[in-house]
Structure 1
Amino acid sequence: MTDIQIGFAGIAILLVLIACRVPIALALISVSFGGMAVLLSPKAAWGALGVIPYSFTATWHLSSIPMFVLMGFFCFHAGLTTGLFRAARMWLSALPGGLAVAGVLGCAGFAAVTGSSIACAAAMGRIAAPEMLRYRYDEGLATGTIAAAGTIGALIPPSILFILYGIIAQVQVSHLFLAGFVIGLITVVAYSLVIIVRVMMNPDLAPKAEEHIGWGDRFDALKDVWPILVLVLGVFGGLFAGIFTPTEAGGIGASLSLLIAMVRRSITVEGVWISLKETLTISSSIFIIAVGASMLTRFFTFSGVSDAIADITIGMGVSPLMLILAITVLYLILGMFLEPIGAMLLTLPILLPLVEAAGIELLWFGVLVAKLLEIGMITPPIGLNVFVLKGVIGDRISIGTIFSGVTRFILADLVIIALMVAFPNIILFTQNLLQ
Structure 2
Amino acid sequence: MTDVAIGLTGLGSLLVLIGLRVPIGVSLIGVSFVGLWSLMGWRVAWGALGTIPYQFTANWVLSSIPMFLFLGFISYHTQLTRGLFQAARAWMSGLPGGLAIASIFGSAGFAAVSGSSLACSAAMGRIAIPEMIKHKYHPELATGTVAVAGTIGALIPPSIILILYGVIAQVSIAKLFLGGVSAGILTAIGYIIVVLVRVKLNPDLAPSRDDRASLSEKIVALKDTWPILLVMIGIFGGLFSGIFTPTEAGAVGAFLACLVALISGELTLERFLKAARETTTTTASLLIIAVGASLLTRFLALSGAGDYLSAGIMSVAANPALLLLGIVLVYLLLGMFLEPIGAMLLTLPIILPVVDASGWSLLWFGVVLTKLLEIGMITPPIGMNVFVIKGVVGDLVKTSAIFRGVLWFMVMDLVIVVVLSVWPSLVLILPDLIS
The answer to whether the 8 Å contact 1:320/1:358 transfers is: yes
Is this contact kept in 1: 2:73–2:119, CA < 8 A? no
Unaligned runs of 5+ in 2: none
Look up the match of 1:229: 229
Distance in 2, matches of 1:261 and 1:122, equals 19
- Please give the TM-score of this superposition, normalised by the length of structure 2: 0.98
Contact 2:90–2:212, Cα closer than 8 Å, also in 1: no
Letter in 2 for 1:280: T
Residue of structure 2 equivalent to 1:339? 339
Q: 1:75–1:113: 8 Å Cα contact kept in structure 2?
A: yes
Alignment pair present for 1:157 and 2:157: yes
Which residue is 1:26 aligned to? 26
Deviation string, structure 1 residues 295-315 (Cα, Å, up to 9, x no partner) = 001101111112122223344
9-18 or 232-241, which deviates more: 232-241
Q: Which residue of 1 aligns with 2:52?
A: 52
Aligned pairs for 1:147-186 within 5 A: 147-186=147-186
Comparing 258-267 with 409-418, greater Cα deviation is found at 258-267
Q: 1:83–1:400: structure 2 CA closer, same or farther, 3 Å change rule?
A: same
The corresponding residue for 1:9 is 9
Asked if structure 2 preserves the Cα contact closer than 8 Å seen for 1:309 and 1:354, the reply is no
Which residue of structure 2 lines up, in the alignment, with residue 271 of structure 1?
271
* Distance in 2 between residues matched to 1:263 and 1:237, nearest whole Å: 21
**Residue number in structure 2 paired with 1:416:** 416
Task: Give the equivalent residue in structure 1 for 2:197.
Answer: 197
Q: What residue is the counterpart of 2:428 in the other structure?
A: 428
Secondary structure of residue in 2 paired with 1:395: helix
Supply the distance in 2 between the matched residues of 1:212 and 1:291 (Cα, whole angstroms).
52
The residue identity in structure 2 corresponding to 1:296 is L
Matched, 1:86 2:66: no
Return closer, same or farther for 1:396/1:4 CA change in 2, 3 Å cut-off.
same
CA contact (8 A) 1:116 1:154 kept: yes
* CA contact 2:94–2:212 (8 Å) conserved in 1: no
1:316-340 deviation digits (Å, cap 9, x = unpaired): 4612221111010000000011110
Q: What does 1:317-332 correspond to in 2, within 5 Å?
A: 318-332=318-332
Are positions 1:247 and 2:228 aligned together? no
Q: Which residue of 1 aligns with 2:389?
A: 389
- Corresponding letter in the other structure for 2:281: T
Q: Tell me the TM-score normalised to structure 1 length.
A: 0.98
Question: Secondary structure of the residue that 2:153 maps to in structure 1?
Answer: helix
Query: What is the distance in 2 between the residues matched to 1:263 and 1:135?
Result: 33
Aligned to 1:76: 76
Taking only the aligned residue pairs, the percentage that are identical comes to: 56
CA contact under 8 A between 2:66 and 2:283: conserved in structure 1? yes
Q: Partner residue of 2:301?
A: 301
Aligned length: 435
The DSSP-based 3-state class of the residue aligned with 1:225 is helix
Answer yes or no: is the 8 Å Cα contact 2:93–2:212 preserved in 1.
no
Instruction: Report the AA paired with residue 425 of structure 1.
Output: S
Change over 3 Å in CA distance of 1:15–1:317 after alignment to 2:
closer
CA distance 1:66–1:222, change in 2 (3 Å): same
**Structure 1 pair 221/300, CA: closer, same or farther in 2 (3 Å)?**
same
2:317–2:323 CA contact under 8 A, matched in 1: no
Q: CA deviation at 1:129?
A: 0.8
For 1:80-109, what per-residue CA distance to the aligned partner results, in whole angstroms no more than 9, with x for missing partners? 111111110000000000000001111111
Q: 1:315 to 1:191 in 2, by over 3 A?
A: closer
Structure 2 CA distance for aligned equivalents of residues 77 and 198 of structure 1 = 33
CA distance in 2, matches of 1:418, 1:432: 21
**Which region of structure 1 is more displaced relative to structure 2, 419-428 or 179-188?**
419-428
Offset at 1:74?
Answer: 1.6
Cα 1:258–1:353 shift into 2, 3 Å:
same
CA 1:328–1:315 in 2, change beyond 3 Å: closer, same or farther? Answer: closer
Per-residue deviation, 1:78: 2.1
Quote the residue 1:144 is aligned against.
144
d(CA) in 2 for partners of 1:52, 1:212? 59
Residue 198 of structure 1, CA deviation = 1.1
Query: What is the CA deviation profile of residues 367-401 of structure 1, one whole-angstrom value per residue up to 9, with x for unaligned ones?
Result: 11100010011111111111110111001111111
Following the alignment from structure 2 to structure 1, what is the Cα–Cα distance between the partners of residues 431 and 349? 24
For structure 1, the residue ranges without an aligned partner over 5 or more in a row are none
Q: What's the CA shift for 1:184?
A: 0.4
Q: Distance in 1 between matches of 2:59 and 2:371?
A: 27
Q: Alpha-carbon deviation of 1:431?
A: 2.4
Instruction: Return the alpha-carbon distance in structure 2 between the equivalents of residues 35 and 392 of structure 1.
Output: 43
Q: Deviations over 1:260-309 (max 9, x none)?
A: 12222220112111111111011111110000001001101111112122
